[in-house]
Amino acid sequence: MTRIAIIVGSVRPGRFGRVVADWVYDEAVKRGDAEFAIVDLADHPLPHLDEPVPASGGSYANEHTRAWAGVVGGFDGFVFVTPEYNHSTTGVLKNAIDYLYAEWNNKAAGFVGYGVVGAARAVEHLRLVAAELQLATVRSQVALSFSTDFENFTTLRPGPHQFDALGTTLDQVVAWSNALSPLRVVN
């Protein structure tokens, strides 16, 4: 069965990322068309990129890189959950992405952003990064706003339209992950 990782893209104390990822997961597992798992970057600490050879070379010198490659390589698609920091994604998420190359290739990605403007600029940045990694991004996305989707700016309460957007995003990620499967190299 197709495996989709929901990647929590923030490790900041007091983050909303895990709450948002849990909401995505709770909705995703109701589907039955794929296996979903949360991959929390807090559980996969990576130092600032310390590999001596670019990831595109496929030669990983460090055990933490090989372990991270094993995690990412085990999935067919991804849903990145990201806040927006200074019109971009988090440093920790960018760092985790930059560690690898082939493990991202020919897979699908969707996005769930949260923040003042739904992390729209962070998602746009991630789309550019994904293109370089041959990671196919789907059109639909979820943009959760602190002012409309979080009660008192603290408690996640997505509006009905967000459930629809999430459903469409997951539909596309699963479909594209399946469609891209013949392109993935099996080692």
Tens-place pLDDT, residues 82-92: 999 999 999 99
pTM of the model: 0.97
> d(Cα 103, Cα 123) in Å, to the nearest integer?
20
- Among the listed residues 79, 82, 71, the one whose alpha carbon sits nearest the alpha carbon of residue 177: 79
Exposure pattern of 114-145 as b/e (b: 16+ CB <10 Å)?
A: bbeebbbbbbbbbeebbeebebbbbebbbbbb
| DSSP string covering 79-99 | EEEEE-BTTB--HHHHHHHHT
Dump pLDDT digits (tens) for 147-183: 999 999 999 999 999 999 999 999 999 999 999 999 9
Q: What's the Rg (C-alpha) of the chain?
A: 16
HSE of 84, CA atoms in CB hemisphere, 13 A: 22
- Domains in the chain with CATH codes: 3-183 (3.40.50.360)
The pLDDT, as a whole number, for residue 18 is: 98
Confidence of residue 128 (pLDDT cuts 50, 70, 90): very high
Q: How many CB atoms lie within 10 A of CB 70?
A: 10
> d(Cα 12, Cα 32) in Å, to the nearest integer?
32
The pLDDT, as a whole number, for residue 186 is: 63
Rounded (10°) angle between helices 17-28 and 160-180: 70
Task: Give the pLDDT mean for 25-48.
Answer: 97
> d(Cα 146, Cα 166) in Å, to the nearest integer?
17
Q: What is the mean pLDDT of the chain?
A: 96
